[in-house]
Amino acid sequence: MSAQLRMPLFAALALLLAAAGGADDASPRCASTRFRIDTSFDSGAFDKCTVRRDGTFEITIRPEDRKVVVEQPWFAFRVSVLRPGELKVQLRIPDGYARYWPKLSSNGTDWTRAADTAVTISAAKKTMDIALTLDDGPVWIAAQELLPGSWYDDWLAELANDDELSVTVIGQSVEGRPISLLKTGNKAETVILLGRQHPAEIPGAMALRDFLATLLADTELARQFRARFNLLIIPLLNPDGVANGHWRHNSGRTDLNRDWGQFTQPETQAVAKLLTSVDALQMRPRLMLDFHATNLTRSLLFYTQTADELTDPAEFDMHWFAAVRERLPGFEFEHRPGPSDENPNTKGYFFRRYGIPAFTYELGDEADRAELHATTPVLAEEMMRALLRAD
Ligand SMILES: [Zn+2]
């Protein structure tokens, strides 16, 4: 199915009206005699675009609201080629710094990292110059690969064919987008996976998909695991942020990963309600993994409980990581224990509520994608082995 067919009706209408010249296109865009730049697609975003006298595009990116405190400068725009030639774009980041290396696509689906020679970051990291010779278009240029709502729709539709899995909607975002839950069975023990609280954290989304595929695989280990544990997975907790190309927040101007406990937002409230029913059905949670990405030199980092914070299963992190290190001797990842008391993030909340091992599973922003796809299944397999050994 084409992306256009899946577009919400209002977006399709807006495009039709814009094409007919009948309405203002709300998305910012600008054009030179050679190129036209726009953000009229899911996850497309910048604040302002102007064209300098020499034809250079000057694009300013800013966070979605004034409350964003973490610098996570998202950008995604599409370049249409009117006349072949050299495209020059200067990205200006007044509220942050050049954090993401640009990714390029000719179809919005398949991506490559921009060549080293195509990108220059200023010493203060406040501007990023991108130069590309374009013969034809369009070309998408984005902070990270785009994994928009339609990517999740396709994935969930595929998973819905699995007899063991059901897909349900447990709530709505601020803007009314569904919060979907994938679940298996009704066993006495449950593993919970959460994804995309932070819209820009694409490698975390990639890892969650690979991780889950390993848990759902037709292997002896995975079958044994699913015979004992339910899976509850919410792959896209912040669909508004993803659709609107936010840096970090939902459409309620809130960092969802600081809303656990207060539950002021419909997205986190949906999970709180789910947990109430998990408790009522006595589906005892045993482990929670919350997938993110961050600015790392290594490709992977885990935030866990401290050694003083006793979990059940006990020392699960140590058992899991030791097994992973044995199987992947050259693969370095970091383990950062941190206290959970008072912390309004997912990790702190699940530990306080259930006393279970609760992890923030952080990929590096620029983690090698091939390595990510190769190592994640091993992490998933050793997680299953470690949890199967728990009483
Ligand atoms: Zn995050």
Q: In which band, very low, low, confident or very high, does the pLDDT at 137 lie, cut at 50, 70 and 90?
A: confident
The pLDDT score that the predictor gives to residue 69 is 87
Residue 281 Cα to ligand 1 midpoint, Å, equals 30
Residue 292 Cα to ligand 1 midpoint, Å, equals 4
CA atoms within 13 A on the CB side of 247: 23
Residue 157 scores a pLDDT above 70: yes
Using CA atoms, how far apart are residues 230 and 164, in angstroms rounded to an integer?
10
Sheet containing strand 48-51, strands side by side? 48-51, 57-60, 85-92, 127-134, 119-121
Alpha helices in 128-174 (DSSP H): 149-159
Neighbour-count burial for 199-210, b at 16+ CB within 10 Å, e otherwise: bbbbbbbbbbbb
Residue 379 Cα to ligand 1 midpoint, Å, equals 19
Residue 15 Cα to ligand 1 midpoint, Å, equals 32
Residue 175 Cα to ligand 1 midpoint, Å, equals 21
Residue 294 Cα to ligand 1 midpoint, Å, equals 7
The pLDDT score that the predictor gives to residue 297 is 81
Residue 248 Cα to ligand 1 midpoint, Å, equals 8
Residue type, 55: G
Q: By the 8 A CB rule, do 177 and 152 touch?
A: no
Residue 29 Cα to ligand 1 midpoint, Å, equals 29
Query: What is the domain class of 149-388 according to CATH?
Result: alpha beta
Residue-range domain boundaries for the chain:
3-142, 149-388
Contacts of 36 by beta carbon, 8 Å cutoff, 6+ apart: 29, 30, 79, 80, 82
Over residues 297-352, the pLDDT tens digits come to: 889 999 999 999 999 999 999 999 999 999 999 999 999 999 987 889 999 999 99
Token digits of residue 232: 């509850």
Matching CATH number, 3-142, of 3.90.79.10, 2.60.40.3120, 3.40.50.720, 3.40.50.300: 2.60.40.3120
Residue 295 Cα to ligand 1 midpoint, Å, equals 10
Q: By the 8 A CB rule, do 347 and 359 touch?
A: yes
Over residues 276-302, the pLDDT tens digits come to: 999 999 999 999 999 999 999 889 999
Q: By the 8 A CB rule, do 58 and 65 touch?
A: no
Q: By the 8 A CB rule, do 267 and 250 touch?
A: yes
Using CA atoms, how far apart are residues 200 and 72, in angstroms rounded to an integer?
7
Residue 116 Cα to ligand 1 midpoint, Å, equals 26
Nearest to 179 by CA among 233, 232, 260, 236: 236
The pLDDT score that the predictor gives to residue 342 is 81
Residue 260 Cα to ligand 1 midpoint, Å, equals 14
Residue 125 Cα to ligand 1 midpoint, Å, equals 21
Q: In which band, very low, low, confident or very high, does the pLDDT at 70 lie, cut at 50, 70 and 90?
A: confident
Using CA atoms, how far apart are residues 126 and 213, in angstroms rounded to an integer?
39
